[in-house]
Amino acid sequence: MLSKRSMVISGILLVAAVVVPTTVRADDLPIDFNQDIRPVLAKNCFACHGPDENDREAGLRLDDRGVAVAELESGSIAIVPQHPQQSELVSRITSSDPDLRMPPADSGHALKPAEIKRIEQWINQGAPFAKHWSFANPVHWPPPDVNQEQWPLTGLDYFVLARMEAHRLQPSEMADRHALIRRLSLDLRGLPPTPHELESFLSDERPDAYGRLVDAFLADPAYGERWARVWLDLARYADSKGYGSDPLRTIWRYRDWVIDALNQNMPYDQFTVEQLAGDLLPDPTFEQRVATAFHRNTMTNTEGGTDDEEFRVAAVRDRVDTTGQIWLGLTMGCAKCHNHKYDPITQKEYYQFYAYFNHTADNDLPTEAPTLKVPVPEISERIAQIDSEVAVLQKQLERLKDEEQSGQDQKPKPKSKRIEQLQKQIDQLKKSKPALPTVPIMQELAGDKRRITKVMIRGNFLTTGDEVHEQTPSAFHEFPEGAPQNRLGIAYWLMSPDNPLTARVAVNRIWARLFGNGLVVTEEDFGTQGELPSHPKLLDWLAVEYMRSDWDTKALLKLIVTSATYRQSSHVTAEAREVDPQNRWLARAPRFRLEAETVRDQAMALSGLLSRKMHGPSVYPPQPPGLWRAAFNGKDRRWATSTGEDRYRRGVYTFWRRTVPYPSMATFDAPSREICVARRIRTNTPLQALVTLNDPVYVEAAQGLARRIMLEGGTSVKQRARWVLQLCLVRIPTDAEIDEIVSLFKSERQHYSAQHEEARTLATKPLGAAPQGLDIADLAAWTVVANILLNHDAVLSKG
């Protein structure tokens, strides 16, 4: 803060000179309403003196200057600009009388002395208000001046460097190529680089080698799989219905749609329109209708005695809340029971917005209707084949029947037996006909079936108030002219260039996945309760760049990953850590633990077991027995462990049951996907260590890696140790590291050479018999080494 003030100090001198001609004190520096005042008022005062008129005390609202400076019912005035002593607000927050003191003790809030002082200064300075930062349109700020002009590589670096310099921080040196390729590969593809990719990059002497690497990774289909993971948390995608016994749901075709859309680099506006309202586009394609499954990921309740309407309402609300979260970064859900306490959304406006989503045909039914049939070539062929066989038999049958009838004979009929046989055959064939998988979709109700929307009092679906109609909240930008008053119109409204939030929220999300934290840390809340951006101008600049590129997501990613900011080393000195422990000012690259799916995918890749097969129904990699024994789930109690390559697919294809999430991923902070999750909170627990040490999935990966060591890693122990360290860490190992591996191998080799059965077990169960010619004690000892390396901090982290 200090340095920011020093930057503007020359401007202040002029202002201050007018007010206090003799001395300039720190007190006179101008207070920034959005930075210094609104967060304090929002946290401590808005609940009773904010936008919600139903809970407003004393008629005072502190989110509206007009009211705050006007005379209240009591005759007093909360804020008298330039006169803190006459302001009721100040006398109440400084009062020593507990009955008068604000905020009241039982609210659990209290103002700090520094906050009180700032409020006084701000009133002294005329109490200027400003629009909440995120509700003002982003500006394409010119890059700020910096001292180290040779450092920036892209426009964004100027913004970052300016903040660094203001905090007297030095950017770190650029990371070496080893570190860069691993970082880039994990960020863009969720997989480590292969030894071959590493070799080619190290030997690529062209000046644009790094840019080419970025392009190659963005073009890899693994890119779509990695970034789909991010979107699927937001879309609360899961393979089960959630409530009650959490029955299974077939909706994987939507997951594939997301992967493909990302791989095709579908512009974010189209990506949005198709998911929210693909069915309302003129002559929607099959893919556009599949996209609408986005909002069919809501939970349904098939439990006995439940009211379908209650859960349909819950689903529609979830669609409203999720839409608000993903595109606006706002917690609209707060307004379903009462007016929003902090952001300008009234309860009525909530239900006006709700009305847009209240006209779809789905109704919490066990059938999931309406659904689309998903063509799967093998199944379609089989169906066609059976249909033609049935047609042939049917003809025969009819002919026989005709003959029999025309015979008109009373004697026993030899043909009737044949007819019976044929009929049976036809029935069997029909029975054996496989069904095409389905995907639930959004479908708008026809005119006369459209629902009436009413405000729900205190959020209760049974007690309704006034009827409302489709309308967007009044504090936001205009509804686009000529856009239809339905979901399609909402999609256009969200993607309108006048919308100050969508682009900011989107670029912040991408930034957060790369840097570990968003420029706005509270990715889910850009409202007044959310945190302020660390680099407001950078956020704006990126948002405008993204819009100007016509929402080209790969271009945005390329812009960020080619920046000098991104390419810094993640080494940190004690001093730098002291100054900026959270790395808010980005004077180094972040270093943080990989997310659940990447921990798995990387282990699969290093072990050589990874299957790169894409698409299709979700798969069942091994998990401990008995976990699916949830209540009431008669037929869905069995986890049918996949065989063949499906055992080794990427985590994005793992079957996701909401009430029993895949245990190792849940341990690594994967959410249950019951509701939209904007960011996963990273934790570091011993249970994670138990997963990567002992889960048979990771033991199998260690076995695979051990075989690679022996088959690909050279012949001597030292060669192999160097090879596997380099493979896993993606850097040149130190002698100390090699020695550590060599001595671990030797001690375990000795142990296992005397323990033949144990060695065989550790080296082959569950992966299967060892390849010909490999010594089993060697293999067991290398399995121990591999197991440890899959738990190495550098392997589990991205640096």
Partner 1 sequence: MDLTDLHLRAVTRRHFLGNCRTGVGALALASMLRQEQASGRTGGLQENPLAEKAPHHPPRAKHIIYLHMAGSPPQHELFDFKPKLVEHHMQPCPDELLANQRFPFIKGHPKLLGTPYKFDRCGESGTELSELLPLFREHIDDVAVIKSMHTDQFNHAPAQLFIYTGSPRFGGAAMGSWATYGLGTENQNLPGFVVLISGGTDPSGGKSLWGSGFLPSVYQGVQCRTTGEPILYVSNPKGMNRDVRRRSLEALRRLNEIELQQFGDPETEARINQYELAFRMQMAVPDSMDLTRETKQTQEQYGIEPGQESFANNCLLARRLVERGVRYVQLFHYGWDMHGTNNTNDIITALPKKCAEIDRPISALIADLKQRGLFDDTLIVWSGEFGRTSMNEERNGSKFLGRDHHPHCFTIWMAGGGIKGGVTWGETDELGYFVARDKMSVRDLQATMMHLMGFDAHRLSYPFQGLNQRLIGPTDEARVNHGILA
Report 27-86 residues binding partner 1 (CB under 8 A): none
Q: Judged by CB, which is closer to partner 1: 417, or 577?
A: 577
762 binds partner 1 per the rule CB under 8 A: yes
Q: Which position among 108, 447, 768, 773 is part of the footprint of partner 1 (CB under 8 A)?
A: 108
Which residues lie closer than 8 Å to 295 by C-beta, 6 or more apart?
275, 276, 319, 322, 357, 360, 442
Separation of alpha carbons 638 and 620, rounded Å = 11
Residue 170, by phi and psi: left (phi above 0), alpha (psi -120 to 50) or beta? beta
- What's the closest the beta carbon of residue 24 comes to partner 1, in angstroms? 31
Assess contact for 550 and 515: CB atoms under 8 A. no
In whole angstroms, the minimum distance from the beta carbon of 103 to partner 1 comes to 13
Binders of partner 1 among residues 83 to 102 (CB under 8 A) are none
Q: Minimal distance in Å, beta carbon 525 to partner 1?
A: 5
Single out the residue of 184, 655, 784, 798 in contact with partner 1 (rule: CB under 8 A).
Answer: 784
Closer by beta carbon to partner 1, 270 or else 347: 347
Q: Which CB, 457 or 675, lies closer to partner 1?
A: 675
388 binds partner 1 (CB under 8 A): no
Identify the bridge partners of residue 283 per DSSP, sorted by sequence position.
Answer: none
* Phi/psi of residue 130, nearest 5 degrees: -145, 155
Decide if residue 775 touches partner 1 (CB under 8 A).
no
- Residue 306: CB minimum distance to partner 1, A: 6
When binding is defined by CB under 8 A, the residue of 207, 412, 482, 686 that contacts partner 1 is 686
Match 């990567």 to its residue by tokens: 692
Q: 């199998």: which residue's tokens?
A: 700
- Output the smallest distance, CB 275 to partner 1, in A: 22
Q: C-beta of 153: minimal distance to partner 1 in Å?
A: 23
**Distance between CA atoms of residues 319 and 296, nearest Å:** 9
Residue 523: enclosing H or E segment and its boundaries? none
Helix (H) or strand (E) holding 798: strand 797-798
C-beta of 434 vs 625, nearer to partner 1: 625
Q: Minimum distance between the CB of residue 658 and partner 1, rounded to whole angstroms?
A: 7
Closest CA to 371 of 241, 251, 248, 285: 251
Residues 601-660 that bind partner 1 (CB under 8 A): 624-626, 629-632, 658-660
**Is residue 343 close enough to count as binding partner 1 by CB under 8 A?**
yes
In terms of C-beta density within 10 A (0-12 exposed, 13-18 middle, 19 or more buried), how is residue 481 classed?
Answer: exposed
Binding partner 1 (rule: CB under 8 A), the pick from 383, 675, 718, 723 is 675
**Rule CB under 8 A: is residue 750 a binding residue for partner 1?**
no
Query: Which residues 718-747 are close enough to bind partner 1 by CB under 8 A?
Result: 734, 736-737, 740-741, 743-744, 747
**Would you say 333 or 437 has its CB closer to partner 1?**
333
- SS3 sequence of 673-730: CCCCCCCCCCCCCHHHHHHHHHCHHHHHHHHHHHHHHHHHCCCCHHHHHHHHHHHHHC
Say whether residue 761 binds partner 1 (CB under 8 A).
yes
- Tokens encoding 105: 């003790």
Please give, one letter per residue, the 3-state secondary structure of 267-325: CHHHHHHHHHHHHHCCCCCHHHHHHHHHHHCCCECCCCCCCHHHHHHHHHHHHHHHHHH
Coil, strand, or helix at residue 242? strand
Residues 316-335 touching partner 1, rule: CB under 8 A, are 325, 330-331, 333-334
Residues between 346 and 365 that touch partner 1 (CB under 8 A): none
The number of CA neighbours under 13 Å toward the Cβ of 265 is 14
| Residue from 39, 622, 751, 774 in contact with partner 1 (CB under 8 A) | 751
Assigned token pair, 22:
């003799």
By CB under 8 A, the residues from 110 to 129 that bind partner 1 are none
Name residues contacting partner 1, limited to 237-296 (CB under 8 A): 242-246
Three-state DSSP state, 429: helix
The token duo for 448 is 């006369």
Q: Which of 299, 544, 587, 727 forms a contact with partner 1 (CB under 8 A)?
A: 299
Question: Which of residues 32, 666, 718, 774 is near partner 1 by CB under 8 A?
Answer: 666
CB of residue 693 to partner 1, shortest distance in Å: 7
Taken in order 487, 490, 495, 496, the sign of the CA dihedral is positive
DSSP 53-102: GGG-STT--TT-HHHHTSBPTTS-BS--TT-GGG-HHHHHHS-S-TTT-S
Per-residue burial over 580-602, b if 16 or more Cβ lie within 10 Å, else e, is beebebbbbbbbbbbbbbbbbbb
Q: State the minimum distance, in angstroms, from the CB of residue 146 to partner 1.
A: 26
In angstroms, give the least distance from the CB of 365 to partner 1.
Answer: 17
| Part of the chain binding partner 1 (CB under 8 A), chosen from 123-131, 159-167, 463-471, 685-693 | 685-693
Q: What does the alpha-carbon distance between residue 606 and residue 776 come to, in Å, rounded to a whole number?
A: 21
**Minimal distance, residue 695 CB to partner 1, in Å:** 5
Tell me whether residue 310 or residue 552 sits nearer to partner 1 (CB atom): 310
323 CB-near residues (< 8 Å, 6+ apart):
276, 332, 357, 490, 494
Binding mask 551-590 for partner 1 (x = CB under 8 A): -------------------xxxxx--x-------------
Site for partner 1 in 200-219 (CB under 8 A): none
* Residue placing its CB nearer to partner 1 in the complex, 18 or 754: 754
Q: Which residue has the tokens 């591999």?
A: 786
Interatomic CA distance for residues 88 and 94, integer angstroms: 10
SS3 assignment, position 478: coil
**Total of chain residues touching partner 1, rule CB under 8 A:** 99
Tell me, residue by residue from 170 to 189, as one string, x for binding to partner 1 by CB under 8 A and - for no binding.
--------------------
Site for partner 1 in 690-719 (CB under 8 A): 690-691, 693-696, 699
User: What are 351's two structure tokens?
Assistant: 């239900």
Q: What's the closest the beta carbon of residue 552 comes to partner 1, in angstroms?
A: 30
Distances (CA, A) of 698 to 571, 594, 606, 708: 29, 15, 11, 15
Binding to partner 1 (CB under 8 A) within 502-531 occurs at 524-525, 527, 529-530
| CB 505, min distance to partner 1, A | 14
Minimum CB separation of residue 205 from partner 1 in Å reads 27
Q: Which residue's CB is nearer to partner 1, number 275 or number 633?
A: 633
Residue 452 tokens read as 């009436």
Q: How far apart are CB 467 and partner 1 at their closest, in Å?
A: 23
| Span of 161-169, 273-281, 475-483, 788-796 interacting with partner 1 by CB under 8 A | 788-796
